[in-house]
Amino acid sequence: MPTMLDRRDLIVGAAGLIASAPLAPALAAAVPDAAGSGAAALKDVATGRRFRFGTALSYGALTRDPAYAALVARQCDLLVAENEMKWQWLRPTPTTFAFDRFDAILRWGEAHGMAVRGHNLLWHQPKWFPAWLNAYDFGSAPHREAERLLTTHIDTVTRRYGTRIKSYDVVNEAVNPKDGTLYETSLSKALGGAEPTLDLAFRTARAAAPHAQLVYNDYMSWEPGNDAHRARVLRLLEGFRRRGTPVDALGVQSHLITQGLPTASHVAALEGPWRQFLDAVTHMGYALVVTELDVRDNNLPADIAVRDRGVADFTRAYLDVTLAYPQLTDVLCWGLADRHSWIEGFEPRRDRAPRRPTLYDTALQPKPMRAAVAAALAAAPIRTG
């Protein structure tokens, strides 16, 4: 039983399903893995295969960590605000919008030649609504008032940015993976259900931003335990198609979770259901976007070299399968360096060893995961669309 993922084992174990070449020394050399001058930036590696590469960036990181911002500018041609377009940040009250922070991120991204995505127009869970929206009094005509509130929000945001934003996560995480239901919120209760609410969000976005790619974004992933979530997302996507709801792509968040040191047989077992899922999504005519890639380094030893290798191998295996889909052209990480990842605050490791979920360490030095992403991009079939 191999303890570390061996690329040749993986190719054999996957019965030829992986189209890309093994991670041979020659390929690694062709994808220099250093942040310094002369190294191939990830965006350039991506461009070579006609992909784009990017990250989430928060206002705090942008304004307080210039070295990190410089790294993001060097490596990325795609950017998304980590929080600043969400209702919780953008809508302090029912009648006001606070655009400053998102605007600052957008201007900075544009000044550095990046395309900027919109995340998100409706995170359809009470937990992520501003408190005022959960407690909102919809008055005597609740349907009309909820419709006004939601469409005003989406109209205002999308019309403000016009063609500066060409892709939106219109709806984020509407499925409750615990029981397969769609979350209900103050808006959906007033609008007569979750599905009409999500449909209204997409229809409004299409009318106000006809140029934009409209994405449904969720975290169903390839690890065991995600089957019910994936199945419910498929039903949601089928429903969108049946009702003619204008949704262009599925945002595959890709918050990966290691299950131990990845072995070929372990990865091969994950691959089948994951392919079935992506096949079903793409057969419905949806494009794919990797919107939030990072890795929760669970069940791996604290030893940094061993842990980083496990994270890198798991990431490479996942991307090899996922980037093989020609419907996918954009890959975004949810933070580029460990010092700006949400994961430590959300779920620290049981042994309290600091998490190592991203491509660069706390000193902004590239980690094996960075080499794995570069190699996966370099090995991906070139996009032709």
Where on the chain is the footprint of ligand 9MR (CB under 6 A)?
82-83, 86, 172, 253, 292, 342
Smaller CB separation from ligand 9MR, 117 or 309: 117
204-231: burial string, b at 16+ Cβ within 10 Å, e else: bbbebbeebbbbbbbbbbbbeebeebbe
Smaller CB separation from ligand 9MR, 186 or 221: 221
- Min CB(333)–ligand 9MR separation in Å: 11
Smaller CB separation from ligand 9MR, 83 or 158: 83
- Min CB(299)–ligand 9MR separation in Å: 20
Residues 209, 22: Cα–Cα separation, whole Å: 42
Smaller CB separation from ligand 9MR, 43 or 296: 296
- Min CB(218)–ligand 9MR separation in Å: 8
Residues 171, 154: Cα–Cα separation, whole Å: 11
DSSP string, 122-153: EE-SGGGS-HHHHT---TT-HHHHHHHHHHHH
- Min CB(90)–ligand 9MR separation in Å: 12
Which residue in 365, 372, 335, 362 sits closest to 55, CA to CA? Answer: 335
- Min CB(19)–ligand 9MR separation in Å: 29
**Residues 218 and 170: beta-carbon distance below 8 Å:** no
Q: Kindly state the helix (H) or strand (E) to which residue 52 belongs, with its residue range.
A: strand 52-57
**Residues 217 and 169: beta-carbon distance below 8 Å:** yes
Bond into 217 cis (ω within 30) = no
Query: Which residue of the chain is nearest ligand 9MR when measured via CB?
Result: 342
Smaller CB separation from ligand 9MR, 30 or 98: 98
Smaller CB separation from ligand 9MR, 83 or 213: 83
- Min CB(169)–ligand 9MR separation in Å: 8
